[in-house]
Structure 1
Amino acid sequence: MIDKFVRSMAEAMAGIRDGATVLIAGFGDVGMPNALLDGLIEQGAGNLTVVVNSAGRVHKPGAATQGIARLIELGRVRKVITSFVRAQSIAGDWVRDGRMEAEVVPQGTLAERIRAAGAGVPAFFTPTGAGTLVAEGKEVRSYNGRPCILEEALPGDVALVEAWMADRWGNLVFRDASRNFNPIMAMAGALTVVQTHHVCDVGQLPANEIVTPGIFVDRVLHVAAGDPKLTR
């Protein structure tokens, strides 16, 4: 019997190694797998490459750090691949001081690099970034008179995903804007770990509402709705 639910955070995080590339879903705080981020911090893997849409919020001096900012502050992130690094954030401080590498990618290109990885497309050409610093060191071709740059797919060793509801096969439903980067990252992770607000029996999810089929999911951890670690 297929049952992808795990019983503990330790089981969900098992086997994540030092040096891994970790895809962390979410758009700002929306749809971010905060419970799994805490679990990754506790698990201890370091020297990570973190792929995330935004590398942290503005940091208020004296305030406790959480999530990605905490992971960075603990010295566990070697490189961040992101569409945005706030100047007044833990990530911004670490990049500015040379303690962490950052690769800044246009948001649409970042999403397509991740989607391509899940779809088995090794690379693609896009006009986004042509003629800018984004194009440095990349192959350029002209299509219909427009210069386009070659961008490589961006797979992850691990993908951390948040879902609204899941069944034991790992079929996932997302709620409203929380869908954002979650489906494409679920496809692109060699190991996809999901935290879900709600669980249901197989067959209870309407087929046309399943965004991520269970074939892309390896582990599911139920973190009950209402837990402060879950986003809204």
Structure 2
Amino acid sequence: MDKTYATTADAVADIGDGASVAVGGFGLCGIPSALIDALHAQGAASLQVVSNNCGTDDHGLGILLGASRIARVTGSYVGENKEFAHQYLTGELEVELVPQGTLAERLRAGGCGIPAFYTPAGVGTPLADGGIPWRHHADGTVAVASPAKETRIFGGREFVLEEGIVCDFALVRAARGDRHGNLVFDMSARNFNPLAAMAGRVAIAEVEELVEPGMLRPEDIHLPGVFVQRVVALTAQQAADKYIEKRTVTA
């Protein structure tokens, strides 16, 4: 039952080229930065990433993106990363944009073994009708466009069918975790982390504080260890490395 790994490098060693990876975090809040750094050092390329966004140019998934190690992104926001926009518009990166709530539910559904579900989000738009550019040619023309999705009427209202997401791996960050993989997230860092972990066949968690089994009260656990396969305790420096996208001050 002891799921701990000695280092982040050990934990991500078997993530290969072309692997699909769900990554927790929202902006730079709650991102598994140490695991991302280890994956960057490890060298895996052509990654298929599922994450709310792709970090910034200097932090988070933006590090992998800047090294041209990501081939495809499924996410809901791209506004903080100029390199993301550049690679998408020049055909280097395939991008599937998904409404944020739909993305969250697709991850949760995949983790729960639900293959698909109906939602009203996107009905009557190109999200349901198809035609959204996923990948461009180098000259800016569309190389791959989104397909039309199945719709159905329930109670007189139209809904669109969305598929659950399951990835080969998941990378998440938690404030506390035990050796069995039970995790506790701190405030808004809870965001996409539990859902990403659920969607990964192999979920890898970096924890700021590692505790022994039984030290976490069952009612305090946000994600049970059944969804987590690997746990890495961060060093004090790694735990302290947290970045802010935009600092706002008042006079």
Same fold (TM over 0.5): yes
1:111-146 superposed Cα distances (whole Å, 9 cap, x missing partner):
000000001100001110001011021001111221
Q: Whole-Å Cα distance in 1 between the matches of residues 60 and 242 of structure 2? A: 11
Q: Which residue of 2 aligns with 1:220?
A: 231
Contact kept, 8 Å, 1:81 with 1:105, in 2: the verdict is yes
* Among candidates 191, 203, 211, match of residue 202 of structure 2: 191
Deviation, 1:56, is: 3.1
Call closer, same or farther: CA 1:231–1:214 in 2, change over 3 Å.
farther
Aligned-partner Cα distance in 1 for 2:157–2:55: 34
The size of the alignment, in residue pairs, is 225
Residue 29 (structure 2) aligns with: 30
Q: Which residue of 2 aligns with 1:62?
A: none
Work out whether residues 56 and 90 of structure 1, in 8 Å CA contact, stay in contact via their aligned partners in 2.
Answer: no
TM-score w.r.t. the length of structure 2 is: 0.86
5+ long unaligned stretches in structure 1: 60-64
Aligned residue in 1 for 2:178: 167
Deviation at 1:9, TM superposition (A): 2.0
CA RMSD, Structure 1 to Structure 2 (Å): 1.5
Alpha-carbon distance between aligned partners in 1 of 2:65 and 2:54, rounded to the nearest angstrom: 10
| SS class of match (1:108) | helix
Q: Secondary structure at the match of 2:4?
A: coil
Deviations 1:48-99 (Å, cap 9, x if unpaired)? 1111101233x5xxxxx33211211111111110101127511111101111
- Matched residue, 1:110: 103
| Paired residues of 2:62 and 2:81 also in contact (CA < 8 A) | no
Question: After TM superposition, which residue ranges in structure 1, 4 or more long, deviate above 3 angstroms?
Answer: 228-232
Match of 2:134 in 1: none
Unaligned runs of 5+ in 2: 131-147, 245-251
Q: How many Å apart are 1:34 and its aligned residue?
A: 0.5
Identity %: 43
Length-normalised TM-score, structure 1: 0.93
Give the superposition deviation at 1:226: 4.4
For the structure 1 residues 87 and 31, does the alpha-carbon distance in structure 2 shift closer, same or farther, using more than 3 Å as the test? Answer: closer
Which residue of 241, 245, 248 maps to 1:229? 241
AA aligned opposite 1:148: F
Q: Separation in 1 of the partners of 2:31 and 2:177? A: 16
Which AA in structure 2 matches 1:96? L
SS at match of 1:117: helix
